[in-house]
Structure 1
Amino acid sequence: MPSAPLHLDTPLFRTSADYSASNKPLWLKLDALQPSGSFKLRGVGRLCQHEIENGAQEIFCASGGNAGIAAAYAGRALGIPVTIVVPATTSAEVRQSIEATGAAVIVHGTVFDEANAFAIEQAKASNAAYVHPFDHPLLWKGHGTLIDEVVGKDADFDCVITSVGGGGLLAGIVAGLQRNGLSDVPVIASETEGAASLHASLAAGERIALPGISSIASSLGARQVAQHVFDLPKHHPIESVTVTDAQAVAACLKFADAYRILVEPACGAALAVADVHPDILARFKNPLIEVCGGIGVSLEKLKAWKERLL
């Protein structure tokens, strides 16, 4: 029998209509309040449980931060050792947070792709299970529980706004919509300029890898989205948009002032849509924003980003 979920059923808030330039009340799904600090625990926790149920004695995962701390949390809860491989761009504070949660941390490579390849090699060499941070059907199934929860609260929503990195959250939201009979509800997929691998791929008509990541939203720093994610617009209404780093940070600051919750610029990419792209929301009455969270943020970092960008 599957273990009980490790993630929480997070709160659902409703903003006033004047919160954003869209002039519409917004539903906010607050996954920043997950025990791991982000939505990642939904899918990563489920995948870790699956691997342990199938005999895994150790887990390796590559991550820029949020999937790593989710895997670390899962390993601690389930009593199994976890090793997280992070690229050199992952901050010392995030590495320390992962270690404090109970996992070992290895720094390898300068980008996620290099860290991920090394994690796969190490998992094989150690006869351990490898948990991908965004490209696995069980991850998507787990992430989709956020839609199950919103539907379970009888919240009336007619579009979903989400940030996109590697695309696991987007895939999960689509899976959740489809299993709840909401295949006609569009998803607005937001990325920061400099980390917009989905936007670039859709514009090119093929799945491409960015030459590098220049955005401060490091949690969105997958140079290439999963193939499944690139194919999603063929099967579900998805609109791809971008925002600047400055716009993402401004959204984080406004959200912190309003709700006293800190989130990463990666999450700010979704929160910014209602201010930056109100024209896109014009045809909707009740947008839902997935407030995905993120551990790579602090008062000090928000202050520095504000001084640098705004």
Structure 2
Amino acid sequence: MTLHIPTPCIESHALGQASGRRVWLKLENLQPPGSFKIRGIGAACEEHARRGKRRFVSSSGGNAGIAVAYAGRRLGIPVTVVVPETTTERARALIRAEQAELIVHGKAWHEANALAQSLLGENDAFLHPFDDPLLWQGHASLVDEVAQAGIRPDVVVLSVGGGGLYAGVVEGLRRNGWNDVPVIAVETLGADAFAQSLAQGYRVELAAITSIATSLAAKQVCAQAFALAQQHATRSATVSDLAAVSACGRFLDDHRMLVEPACGASLALGYGHADALGDAENVLIIVCGGVTATVDQLRQWRQELSEEA
């Protein structure tokens, strides 16, 4: 038994029409906690449980913490999650609903992470939200499912925050013999540490996160993600917060599913930035999900961002 579920990979007629390509959607938003995070985090939690750990401690901007809390509840192991002040009230409520202890600390994730690390005892396991080989191995399973479905994309589009999903997808491509399938890593402006790192040739640390896509709010990508980008064909793309939020709205209308702006960043490439897809005909978009935004919040963001624009 695994804590994640196999998710559908469907063809999107709406995104196909918008982009002029065949677009496949790997629907990780359908995972029980609402995002792809449970693949890697679930695998890591199960491994730590086998090793006899008695508490899970995590730091998170939202979705990783929800996944750890869900895993802990399923495994019968107590969970403590530390989130920064930027984490939405909805994300906080969802973590508490999974019966986890929630601590709010710091203005950004790195401050919450430092506190979480300081709480660790001898019998505790730390669940990093993106920088852990156990996570990458778990996330790679979503590529296994795409391969098993008989779909071979020309390119994979995914959102990047700390780089955990990217590292897992590249691992999945490799183990399925798809080393030649490039990845387009998408970020919102103001949370674009990966794009800046690829442009500069070293891991850039952002001075601050100014994007509303708080699930992408790692000030620096993990070393593994940057190293893989030197080995695997990887292109970077950035979109505005307004483009990401607008894509969430169109996706809700087209597919009747709500995702947050961090996921909308990738969808935005299909809806309005198709030139970034190059000459790819078969496009796989990882719908990474995210449950920290509501319809009302998306509507409010869109209005405010439209007024600013």
- Provide the TM-score with structure 2 as the length reference: 0.96
Residue of structure 2 equivalent to 1:136: 132
Which residue identity does 2:240 align to in structure 1?
T
Residues 1:63 and 2:60 aligned together: yes
Residue of structure 2 equivalent to 1:33: 30
Checking the alignment, whether the CA contact within 8 Å between 2:180 and 2:233 is kept in structure 1 is: yes
Residue of structure 1 equivalent to 2:213: 217
DSSP-derived class of the 2:19 partner? coil
Residue of structure 2 equivalent to 1:112: 109
How far apart are residue 209 of structure 1 and its match? 0.9
Residues 1:262 and 2:253 aligned together: no
Question: For residues 83-117 of structure 1, what are the alpha-carbon distances to aligned partners after superposition, in whole Å with 9 as ceiling and x for unaligned?
Answer: 00000111222111100012110111111001111
Which residue identity does 2:48 align to in structure 1?
E
Residue of structure 1 equivalent to 2:20: 23
Checking the alignment, whether the CA contact within 8 Å between 1:195 and 1:213 is kept in structure 2 is: yes
Report the Cα distance in structure 1 between the residues aligned to 2:149 and 2:274, rounded to whole angstroms. Answer: 26
Across the two proteins, how many residue pairs are aligned to each other?
306
Matches within 5 A, 1:295-310: 295-310=291-306
Report the Cα distance in structure 2 between the residues aligned to 1:127 and 1:144, rounded to whole angstroms. Answer: 28
DSSP-derived class of the 2:156 partner? strand
Residue of structure 2 equivalent to 1:252: 248
> Mean alpha-carbon deviation: is it higher for 34-43 or for 199-208?
199-208
How far apart are residue 307 of structure 1 and its match? 1.1
Residue of structure 2 equivalent to 1:51: 48
Report the Cα distance in structure 1 between the residues aligned to 2:132 and 2:252, rounded to whole angstroms. Answer: 32
Checking the alignment, whether the CA contact within 8 Å between 2:237 and 2:276 is kept in structure 1 is: no
Checking the alignment, whether the CA contact within 8 Å between 1:17 and 1:25 is kept in structure 2 is: no
How far apart are residue 201 of structure 1 and its match? 1.2
Question: For residues 227-283 of structure 1, what are the alpha-carbon distances to aligned partners after superposition, in whole Å with 9 as ceiling and x for unaligned?
Answer: 111111211101011000000011101100011100000000110112343223241
Residues 1:100 and 2:61 aligned together: no
Residues 1:76 and 2:73 aligned together: yes
Residue of structure 1 equivalent to 2:165: 169
DSSP-derived class of the 1:9 partner? coil
Any unmatched runs of 5+ in structure 1? Answer: none
Q: Which of 149, 155, 162 is residue 153 of structure 1 equivalent to?
A: 149
CA RMSD between the two structures: 1.2
Residue of structure 1 equivalent to 2:178: 182
Checking the alignment, whether the CA contact within 8 Å between 1:22 and 1:282 is kept in structure 2 is: no
Question: For residues 264-306 of structure 1, what are the alpha-carbon distances to aligned partners after superposition, in whole Å with 9 as ceiling and x for unaligned?
Answer: 0000011011234322324111000000000111111111012
Which residue identity does 2:130 align to in structure 1?
F
Question: For residues 15-66 of structure 1, what are the alpha-carbon distances to aligned partners after superposition, in whole Å with 9 as ceiling and x for unaligned?
Answer: 1276454211200000001000000000011111111111100010000100
Any unmatched runs of 5+ in structure 2? Answer: none
Q: Which of 193, 203, 208 is residue 207 of structure 1 equivalent to?
A: 203
Checking the alignment, whether the CA contact within 8 Å between 2:15 and 2:270 is kept in structure 1 is: no
Q: Which of 4, 7, 10 is residue 7 of structure 2 equivalent to?
A: 10
DSSP-derived class of the 1:7 partner? coil
> Mean alpha-carbon deviation: is it higher for 270-279 or for 215-224?
270-279
Report the Cα distance in structure 2 between the residues aligned to 1:99 and 1:82, rounded to whole angstroms. Answer: 10
Which residue identity does 1:130 align to in structure 2?
F
- Provide the TM-score with structure 1 as the length reference: 0.96
Which residue identity does 1:8 align to in structure 2?
I
Q: % of aligned pairs identical?
A: 51
DSSP-derived class of the 1:133 partner? coil
Distance 1:264 1:58, change over 3 A: same
Checking the alignment, whether the CA contact within 8 Å between 1:17 and 1:24 is kept in structure 2 is: no
Report the Cα distance in structure 2 between the residues aligned to 1:269 and 1:68, rounded to whole angstroms. Answer: 21
